[in-house]
Structure 1
């Protein structure tokens, strides 16, 4: 039986699927004439980084300074920290940059630029900084047509220690749609938002080399990348049930799964108990906006075949409760001690609970253990 020597819960990664997912996205970016700057916030792995950048641009996106340091130590030289910077993190960022890294920062706040400039002066260092654009997601960033955009560029241009890198955006609201046509429209909104900001800046006399966009849904379904310099998808490397519902991947293109043991039969409630609970799977139920039959994860046999009738209906800290849509859990087919695999709802959240991947090939042979970085 494959994976028989692993403890549970364990995080499995199918190398072959991951590698193919990376190849497809790299070809899409190159075919469109843009750089792929993969977002490593999901994988957080050197080995996956090498897959994602193979044959292309070697720069990456990260979401924490811990990730930036991890990849800098592995020799990555171009890193975009795509979360708004605060002055208190600049000393840590400097230590990463001192390793020979171009570490690009982002902001949407003029007062922060003033404080960053003063802190960079104190530290005796410099940083490239990009302006974050809100393309409709309503999270961070300034609107492309706002006066704030030019004020930010002026503040960066007049600063002593910061240089203006360009503009970037992220269409996080693309995750609210499940049809290719709807997501393509969001992708166009994303593209036009950041490109129009770049055009405004250039007309005002500011060089704007970086025009960066991207989420996995928009990278997959965009009709055009015209005017962009790069795209920054991330979860495409692994896929998940969210992406399955959105349509960016098929079930057999989900690379990361959670190995779990059956630990009990609750016959009164007709539930299978497993040892993958909220900590092992996360409590993300984002796919529920598309289907009521996903819960906290879909259930597979040990060979990866989806059990169509099963899903993780509920989780406690260390317990998962598997329900059957038909009400028939076939307890005799899944005795206590037997093993199942769970397809995560949101890979980024699920894999964050683990320190390493148990890497296997498509036939099911374990071939490696890959470390990953966690924390901030």
Structure 2
């Protein structure tokens, strides 16, 4: 039996009890609204983790083709690649098709559709294509009310070896919704605007088999999604400080942390130095309320007021939000701490192994993960 204290740090630790509870919470919500969940596996790019939050034969969402290949190798067949497709990725997509994977790709502009239709004869089987919608003026996507939406869908539908499948949206602006009411309003906006697009396409003779929406805050909101065929979400599995700041979860629900070791002190500055810098924590500062992460003791108990205020590549600097002096005995040289992440996806993506614990003392399993793009 391996102790957490014996691990080389920094190390990514998963509290499997919290992971299981978080996963069941989302599954219960989807069962309640009567919609299937298509989990986004980019948070924990691990088939062992997915056995909990996206068990086979679940449909899944991926953010890289490396994830698609990794999960396809484990038996996942219905995969949505939810990043706009470019020509340099056609060959990799075709290989997945040839291997029997029902992969769906996304486009959101006429240039992407033009390139895809010109190359469509290269695909060994009909390739499922969805159009990404912009429902919140946040990131990628085309407006649901746009005439270009209809022309893009028709062009895809008429192309050799392409199959227009529907529309998808991601309400990323929900990460700025600080109240339950605001999250519910954003969910309503996300669903209504996506449904408008689907209705317009159906009226034009282009029915949508897929009408897909999702973000963790909107998926867990009080709004009952209508006119939708599936919900997508990902960070709910582990949650993080951004979700806690939005009151989507409690800090005690966060299932991912970074184990780190105290390597020194700067008493005059009230600093504790640890071996988890931005290479171990990521550069993401989330809502900017917690620096680069909140500090817990080795068992996962939050140390009130202590946070990672600064990072270098391999060094993290811990101090108190009120600039309190370092207490005697709390941060001894060589002692271990854990850091709760701002953005779990960014932090987990730094690691190729996840160390799983049930008792916050020992390692019960070691999970691998996908790597690269």
State the 1:224 CA deviation. 1.4
For residues 225 and 241 of structure 1, what CA distance do their matches in structure 2 show? 26
Q: Any residues of structure 2 matched to 1:1-376 within 5 Å, and which?
A: 2-54=3-55, 58-288=58-288, 291=289, 294-326=290-322, 327-376=324-373
Contact kept? 2:117, 2:155, Cα under 8 Å = no
Distance (Å, rounded) in 1 between the aligned partners of 2:291 and 2:342: 8
Give the structure-1-normalised TM-score.
0.96
Instruction: Give the 3 Å change call, closer, same or farther, for CA 111–325 of structure 1 in structure 2.
Output: closer
The structure-2 alpha-carbon separation of the partners of 1:368 and 1:308, relative to structure 1 and needing over 3 Å to count, comes to same
Secondary structure of 1:37's counterpart equals strand
- Give yes or no for contact 1:110–1:155 (8 Å, CA) kept in 2: no
Shift of 1:237: 0.3
Report how far residue 99 of structure 1 moved: 1.8
Which stretch of structure 1 is more off in the superposition, 319-328 or 58-67? 319-328
What does the per-residue CA deviation read over 1:311-348, in whole Å, with 9 as the maximum and x for residues that have no partner? 11000111100011241321432111000000001001
Change beyond 3 A, Cα 1:230–1:98: same
Q: How far off its partner does 1:184 sit? A: 1.1
The answer on whether the counterparts of 1:114 and 1:159 sit within 8 Å (CA) in structure 2 is no
Contact 2:213–2:230, Cα closer than 8 Å, also in 1: yes
Alpha carbons 1:37, 1:230 under 8 Å: kept = yes
Which segment is superposed worse, 174-183 or 341-350?
Answer: 174-183
Distance, in Å, in 2 between the alignment partners of 1:222 and 1:210 is 23
Deviations 1:54-106 (A, max 9, x none): 4x861000000000000000110100000000122111011112221100001
TM-superposed deviation, 1:117: 2.5
Q: Is the 8 A contact 1:128 1:162 kept in 2?
A: yes
How many Å separate the matches in 2 of 1:209 and 1:63? 21
Bigger Cα displacement from structure 2, 309-318 vs 358-367: 358-367
SS at match of 2:233: coil
> Displacement, 1:132?
0.6
Q: How many aligned residue pairs are there? A: 371
Cα RMSD of the aligned pairs, angstroms, is 1.4
Q: Distance in 2 between matches of 1:98 and 1:150?
A: 30
What is the deviation of 1:123? Answer: 4.3
2:265 match: secondary structure: strand
Matches of 2:146 and 2:243 in 1, distance apart? 33
In 2: Cα distance, 1:137 partner to 1:18 partner: 32
Q: Measure the CA separation in 1 of the matches of 2:145 and 2:166.
A: 15
* Structure 2 portions without partners, runs of 5+: none
CA distance in 2 between counterparts of 1:154 and 1:250 reads 45
Question: C-alpha offsets along residues 2-33 of structure 1, whole Å, 9 cap, x if unaligned?
Answer: 51210110000011111111111111111111
Measured in 1, the distance between the counterparts of 2:57 and 2:122 equals: 33
TM-score by length of 2: 0.96
In 2, are the aligned partners of 1:36 and 1:57 still within 8 Å (CA)? Answer: no
